[in-house]
Chains A and B, each alone.
Chain A
Amino acid sequence: MEHMGFTAIDHNAYNSALNSINSMLKTVFFTSVLIYGIVIDSPVVSLFIILSMAFITVVIGRIKLRYYIRVMSIPALFIVLSIAAVLVNFSRSSTGLFTLSLGGVNIFVTDEGIKKAVCIVIRAFGAVSCMYGLALSTPMADIIEVFRKFRLPEVIIELMFLIYRFIFVLLAVVENMTRATEARNGYGSIRSSFYSFGSIGKNLLLYSFRKADFAYDAMESRGYDGKIAFYSEDRNIRLLEIVFFILYFVVMICLS
């Protein structure tokens, strides 16, 4: 079974060697590294975060390097596009390191602009690699449990649980509907493709309403009375993990 997009990230998180570590500790670790990296604004620290997160995720977590590069390349496009505003300057009189004159307007890049853009790229990648570090080591369900421990409102937690659960149910339905449409040449022309797409969307909406009704019945049949509660055991935090956590921060502080 090939997993794509969000389900692939979740699937990898389940299979990560880091999945066995206490999720609260992981969430606190990755989030605090992310915040520190952004606040400190040091390219050296950010570079350290990028490299160390890649090491933690790929080597310790045993996520395939090819997959890690692929997921890291997704935000790369957004980051590169967003730094264009920082990198490129427009002026009628000034010029910079590289200048292009178009209709009396100079479009140029300055030395300082390049440095600033590189710093932003490294900082952004550092933050992204922290988020991927968490996403590729902690399944979504565990992250929701951590939110519950942080006293997020119960209604939001329950919605997150149900949405997360139904993403997979509805994805399987979409897959079946798409296959059934393809089998009847539903995407044979642009016109029929639009029609099929619309029909699948409509049917999926109706299907999700029906399934929601059934799911509610199923919950009620097991005594649901307004609060979704599960039993789960927290994984113990080991001394080695705390030592690693502290050492990591010591290194970051020294580098900054």
Chain B
Amino acid sequence: MNQTAKIGLLITWVGVLILGIVSVIVDWMPVDGGGFSEDVDWLYYFIYAVNVFFFLLIGGLMFTFAICGKQRPEDRDEVVHGATHNTLVEVAWTFPPLVIVLAIFVWGFRGYLDMATMPPASADAYLVDVEARQWGWTFTHENGASVSGQNYNPETGGGAVLDIPADRPVEFRLSATDVLHSLYFPAQRAKKDCVPGRYNRMWVEVTSAHIDARIAEMREDGLAVDEQERYADYPLHCTEYCGQDHSQMNGILRVWKPEYWDAQLDVLNIWNKENLSPIKWGEAVYTNNCASCHSVDGTPRTTGPTWKDLWKQERDGGPVDEQYILESIYIPGAFKVTGFESQNMSTFAGQLNYGDVMGVIAYIKSISGVDESEIRAEYPADREVYDGSDWLDENNQVMEPPALD
């Protein structure tokens, strides 16, 4: 073997060594946000080891053979007469890969069964409805609150934020209104398509320990975190191409420590994050709760008085104002409207919270001829994004409605 060949061989195997070392150093997977990370990452690094081993072996041998056996120009005539086949060798190198791929299959299958099996009823899973559309997400919670949006905007806090509790399984019921989408949580290694015309399901569980680790890591990276360490944010993407703004569906998966979850649920319920104006929100509350008894266009109903032009009407309890509406919702029997004495409306206390009532008030104003700009100015919800914090007390609990006299 000549000098050049020796140098070539040296370079080849030093290269193999360096590649091997580099491959061990590089951390391939994204942040571990619980979910299925543990299983997936284990299998990932096992396959990775298989990959690195076989790749370095094949690549190293290929260069070695090429360098050692490089044809010299004067050897053009030489034909090498080696073995042309060897069944034993063929079998010997067919079986190890076969065993390895079967092991990979079994491992992957076990991990996948975990993903595919929804938590049992006894696991007290929290259910979120996820509806994908061109181009945005709507996340609807068990209490009916829904959050909707496109890209998460860290400056305003707006966009698609999917709040879920930690330390319990969370199940997602996926649907799509128009074309295919796919919900992807890289940190949880979870993904499922949103298919119009069918419900798909997936689930994840993130622990409080993951949240603490994530917060610490983000602090280290100089990223903004929740100062009270109540929650941690993880990315969320659409991964099935869905048209123009496919790449504008990057939301946030916000996982809350369980002790803060109930408060957060109330916050979600106060004001939606679709940036609906209070009027629109009130209209939604009306449609879902009040429309069966009250009309809004003046149509007379026997079940209840119409809301048309209700604002500032003279009633038994005085002119209709915020207090009158609040009381009518929470203590319906306090004042009876003439002509409806026999109707007994049941209370909505506990169903409609304070924010909902404020929405209803705004809505009633809007159908009573009050100028819209005037209504909007009164409510903090008209900021670009309203986070509901005005309704929280110092303990992050939702404030009680003001006492009724």
* A and B found bound together: no
Using CB atoms and an 8 Å cutoff, list the residues of chain B in contact with chain A.
Answer: none
Using CB atoms and an 8 Å cutoff, list the residues of chain A in contact with chain B.
Answer: none
